[in-house]
Amino acid sequence: MAYNIPDKYQDLTPAPQLDKKTLNKMVWLSCFLQASFNYERMQAAGWLWAMLPGLQKIHTNKEDLKASMAHNLDFLNTHPFLVTFVMGIVLSLEQNKADTQTIRSVRISAAGPLGGIGDALFWLTLVPITAGLTANMAMEGQIIGAILFLLIFNVAQFVIRFALMYWSYGLGTKAVTLLTSNAKEFTRAASILGIFVVGGLIANYGSTTVRMIVGDTQINIQGLLDGVLPKLIPLLITLGIYALIKKGWTPVRCIILILVVGIVGCAFGIWTGDSKAMDAEGNTLPGGYTPLVEWYDYPEPEAPAE
């Protein structure tokens, strides 16, 4: 038989404030929000698992606890790192024994905007900044680079998890108003910061160069491009991909295009940089390798005239 969720709880006496130990436990359980992810109710099972310690203390009436668990299994889809913001608001409403329909509506209203905010805050801002700071160390073979990346990223997300739980639990429904009134501005600001960071990463790590020599005087094409604007090739590639996406290309198609252009360009020696190849005696071979052409040496720069 289907269970009909009542509109009101039987015991309408407000419950006492939850202690810090319970709130902290719920924050840690929120890490399993997507452990039972499914395409019918998304994160609902993980949400109820994280909320259960608080609900059990708030609803001493078994029928009320049953009703609360039932409506907390409703469809939910929010950002996994910011979910404690929604948890604090819902806990405040549950504690004051608000109508079940009101709690369900507030939960959906608070959870919806967090997806865009969380993506802008974490994937477009925190991750590029953290990766930009630690990637050089990892590329040089230093394991501390990977350790620092994981440490900075996880410390940041757990600080935010705990801070949002206590803040939203104290504010209650006022937190929803603050979220919805500033969500657009916050998301735009975080996105702009992320774009600046990505631009810096392109300039720092964009290493695509033209390895072509023209004429008997061996004119270095890349040297001419650097004279116009350093890192011009990575910039043009980035702008070209952006234009294709604006025209309706999917990211997968863009990735395939980059792979094809890269493979064909290397085969003809257009993008080939220093091969790092060695001869039989272990000496580094200068220049690059073009499978469809031949080995070639990159000309040494001429010494300035005295």
Interval 255-306: pLDDT, tens: 999 889 888 877 776 776 555 555 567 665 555 555 555 555 554 555 555 5
Q: Domain boundary residue among 201, 226, 247?
A: 201
Q: What's the rounded Cα separation, in Å, for the pair 253 and 282? A: 40
Which residues is 76 bridged to in the sheet? Answer: 42
Domain identity same for 130 and 263: no
Is 90 exceeded by the pLDDT of residue 131? Answer: no
Q: Could you say which of 141, 169, 201 is where a domain stops?
A: 201
What pLDDT, on the 0 to 100 scale, is given for residue 216?
60
The answer to whether residues 232 and 224 touch, using CB atoms and an 8 Å cutoff, is no
Residue 120 has pLDDT above 90, yes or no: no
pLDDT of residue 186: 54
Q: What is the pLDDT of residue 157?
A: 92
Identify the pLDDT of residue 221: 73
pLDDT at 179: 56
Mean pLDDT of the chain: 80
Q: What angle do CA 33, 23, 123 make, to 5 degrees?
A: 40
Answer yes or no: do 177 and 230 share one domain.
no
Given this model, what pLDDT does residue 102 score?
A: 84
Q: Does residue 114 or residue 2 have the better pLDDT?
A: 114
Residue 236 lies in a domain: yes
If asked whether residues 112 and 155 sit together in one domain, one would say yes
pLDDT average, residue stretch 152-157: 92
Q: Are residues 155 and 231 in the same domain?
A: no
Distance CA 113, CA 109 (A): 8
Q: Looking at the structure, do residues 196 and 219 belong to the same domain, yes or no? A: no
The answer to whether residues 112 and 231 belong to one domain is no
Contact predicate 32/5, CB 8 Å: no
3-state secondary structure at position 156: helix
pLDDT at position 38, please?
87
The domain in which residue 264 lies consists of: 215-296
User: What confidence tens digit (pLDDT) does each residue in 55-67 have?
Assistant: 999 999 999 999 9
pLDDT beyond 70 at 166: yes
Same domain, yes or no, for 193 and 241? no
Say if residues 85 and 186 touch (Cβ distance below 8 Å).
Answer: no
State whether 232 and 105 are in the same domain. no
- Do the beta carbons of residue 281 and residue 299 sit within 8 Å? no
pTM over 0.85: no
Cβ neighbours, 10 Å, residue 124: 20
Please indicate, yes or no, if residue 304 is contained in any of the structural domains.
no
Give residue 22's Cα distance to chain centre: 29
Instruction: Assess whether pLDDT exceeds 90 at residue 1.
Output: no
Number of domains in the chain: 2
The pLDDT, as a whole number, for residue 148 is: 92
pLDDT for 104 beyond 90: no
Residue 2 forms part of a structural domain? no
Residue 181: which residues within 8 A CB-CB, separation 6 or more?
none
pLDDT one-digit tens code per residue, 15-65: 898 999 999 999 999 999 999 888 888 899 999 999 999 999 999 999 999
Q: How much is the pLDDT for 205?
A: 65
Mind listing the pLDDT tens digit for each residue in 207-255? 777 766 665 655 667 777 777 788 888 888 888 988 999 999 998 899 9
pLDDT of residue 283: 66
Last residue of a domain, one of 142, 170, 201: 201
Both 49 and 192 in one domain: the answer is yes
